[in-house]
Amino acid sequence: MRKINLFKDTLPASLFRRLVRAVREVGTERLKESYTTNFWFAAGAKPRNIVEEAITRLFRLVRPGPRCIGVEWWLGRLPYGKSLPMHFDRDLALEKQTGEAAYPLWASILYLNRFPSSPTVVLDQVPSDDKKSLVPPKAKYGRALEPMPNHYVVYRGNLYHGVVANGNGDGHKPPSRSKKSRKPPELRLTLLINYWDRRPLPPVCRDYDGTVYKALQEAYEPSCHVFARGARL
């Protein structure tokens, strides 16, 4: 694959609807810890929830090869107007403990809803050996990807990326709600999946046991799907 790849209409419609419904039911649970509540799904394992059911399908598109031993996944939920600073995905616990930097083979984002003015920006810059600068210093190539339902972007795991919220410059207004409504405002919903050749360390990446995000487990429909190690399906 190229460094940055975009797939459209990725999941079967019925599975995608169940996934979106389940993530909406999760709501604001652990919202402030969304980007550090990560789970490990090992190659060859049986899905434990609807996210992992979806990953067995998405894996066929990515085809990460025999080095991939599993994936790390988490839910991305951003309020309107909220950016996510440019960064590199890495093993945060390993870096904190040892200073070592480890990056996934591939990083990916499945967009669950349309969210105007908050594109993902992916640049062809990687960290320098000393982790203090970018290579190349100025990006030569990049993509800005608008959140569109069931679109799936996959890119090299060491690329510089983030979410740039552009406000109302394009004429869109934030989702409104009446004062009487108890329904929270719309969130920018994504499923983040990193494909690894080693397992990221806890406590950031842990096994899913259903004690959080129970709606994901309840929406799962058991089947014969198994996440195949290094498969080229």
Residue 178 is encoded by which pair of tokens? 């009446």
Q: What residues have CB less than 8 Å from 130, skipping those under 6 apart?
A: none
Of 142, 106, 102, 138, which Cα lies nearest the Cα of 122?
142
Q: How far is CA 215 from CA 23, 120, 218, 222, in A?
A: 7, 26, 5, 15
Is 146 inside a domain boundary?
A: yes
Contact predicate 155/107, CB 8 Å:
yes
pLDDT mean across residues, the chain: 90
Looking at residue 167, what is its pLDDT? 55
Is 141 inside a domain boundary?
A: yes
Q: Are strands 70-79 and 120-123 parallel, antiparallel or unpaired?
A: unpaired
Q: Is the pLDDT of residue 181 over 50?
A: no
Is 229 inside a domain boundary?
A: no
The domain of 213 spans: 4-166+184-218
CATH number of the domain within which 74 lies:
2.60.120.620
Q: Is the pLDDT of residue 229 over 90?
A: no
Contact predicate 59/227, CB 8 Å:
yes
What is the pLDDT confidence band of residue 174, given thresholds at 50, 70 and 90?
A: low
C-alpha torsion angle, residues 124, 35, 186, 212 (rounded to 10): 150
> In total, how many domains does the chain have?
1
Is 132 inside a domain boundary?
A: yes
Is 23 inside a domain boundary?
A: yes
User: The whole model's pTM is what?
Assistant: 0.89
Q: Please give the order of strands across the beta sheet that includes 152-156.
A: 4-7, 152-156, 106-111, 187-196, 70-79, 38-42, 205-207
Q: What is the pLDDT of residues 68-107, one digit of tens each?
A: 999 999 999 999 999 999 999 999 999 999 999 999 999 9
Is 228 inside a domain boundary?
A: no
Terminal Cα-to-Cα distance of the chain (whole angstroms): 15
What is the pLDDT confidence band of residue 215, given thresholds at 50, 70 and 90?
A: very high
| Residue 227: count of CB within 10 angstroms of its CB | 20
What is the pLDDT confidence band of residue 52, given thresholds at 50, 70 and 90?
A: very high
| Residue 186: count of CB within 10 angstroms of its CB | 16
Q: What residues have CB less than 8 Å from 214, skipping those under 6 apart?
A: none
Q: What is the pLDDT of residues 3-24, one digit of tens each?
A: 999 999 999 999 999 999 999 9
Is 223 inside a domain boundary?
A: no
